C-alpha cells in the first residue's frame, strides 16, 4: 500500500481472526465488495473478506461491525502508516 503519497482509492482491511462472521458488513456494503469466505477462522466463524477492489471508503461496514479491530477503512487520499491492528 502506497501510503506516503496518499491512497489513490479507498480500501478496507478485514482482520479475519477478529471477525465473528455476523455478516452485517456484507449486508450493508453499498458496493457489494464484501463477501463471506468459505474457510473458518480460529473461532470457527466464516470471516468476511474483501474482493480487493471497489471499496469507496464510505465506512458503513466499520459502523456496523461490533468488533473494535476487525475492520479498518482507509479513505481515498489517506496519508500515513498502515494500521497494525
Partner 1 sequence: MAEKVLKRADSFYPIFERKGGPTPDVTHYCPGCGHGVLHKLIAETIDDFGIRDRTILISPVGCSVFAYYYFRTGNIQSAHGRAPAVATGIKRVFPQSIVISYQGDGDLAAIGTNNILQAANRGEKITVFFVNNAIYGMTGGQMAPTTLIGQKTTTSPMGRKPGNEGFPIRMSELIATLHAPIYVERVALTDAKNSTRVRKAVRKALQNQIDNKGFSFVEVLSVCPSGWKMTPVQAKEWLTQEMIKAFPLGVYKDISDEIEAQPAKGNVFSVQGLREQLNLPEEKVAPATPVNKTATPEKYRNPRLKMAGFGGQGILMLGLGIAQAGMDAGYEVSWIPSYGPEMRGGTANCHVNLSTERIGSPLVTRPTVLIAMNLPSLEKFVDEVVPGGLIITDASLVTQPPARKDLEHLSIPATQIADELGNTRVANMVILGAYIAYTQILDQETVFASLPHFIKQKSLIGLNIQAIKKGIESISSQIKN
Give the footprint of partner 1 on this chain (CB under 8 A): 17-18, 20-24, 27-28, 42-43, 45, 58-60, 62-75, 77-80, 83, 85
Pair 24, 65: CB distance under 8 Å: yes
Contacted by 63, from partner 1, ligand SF4, none: CB < 5 to 8 Å by type: partner 1
Q: In 10 A of CB 27, how many CB atoms?
A: 12
Q: In angstroms, what is the minimal distance from the CB of 2 to partner 1?
A: 14
Q: Which residues pair with 13 in a beta bridge?
A: 72
Minimum Å distance from CB 38 to partner 1? 17
Alpha helices in the chain (DSSP H): 24-28
Q: Which does 14 bind (CB under 5 to 8 A by kind): partner 1, ligand SF4, none?
A: ligand SF4
- Return d(Cα 54, Cα 64) in angstroms, integer: 19
- Least distance CB 80 / partner 1 (angstroms): 7
Amino acid at each position: 500500500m502506497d501510503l506516503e503519497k496518499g491512497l489513490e482509492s479507498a480500501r478496507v482491511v478485514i482482520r479475519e481472526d477478529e471477525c465473528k462472521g455476523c455478516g452485517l458488513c456484507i449486508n450493508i456494503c453499498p458496493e457489494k465488495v464484501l463477501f463471506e469466505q468459505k474457510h473458518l477462522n480460529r473461532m470457527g466463524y466464516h470471516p468476511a473478506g474483501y474482493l480487493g477492489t471497489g471499496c469507496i471508503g464510505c465506512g458503513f461496514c466499520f459502523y456496523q461491525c461490533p468488533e473494535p479491530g476487525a475492520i479498518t477503512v482507509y479513505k481515498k487520499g489517506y496519508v500515513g502508516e498502515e494500521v497494525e491492528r
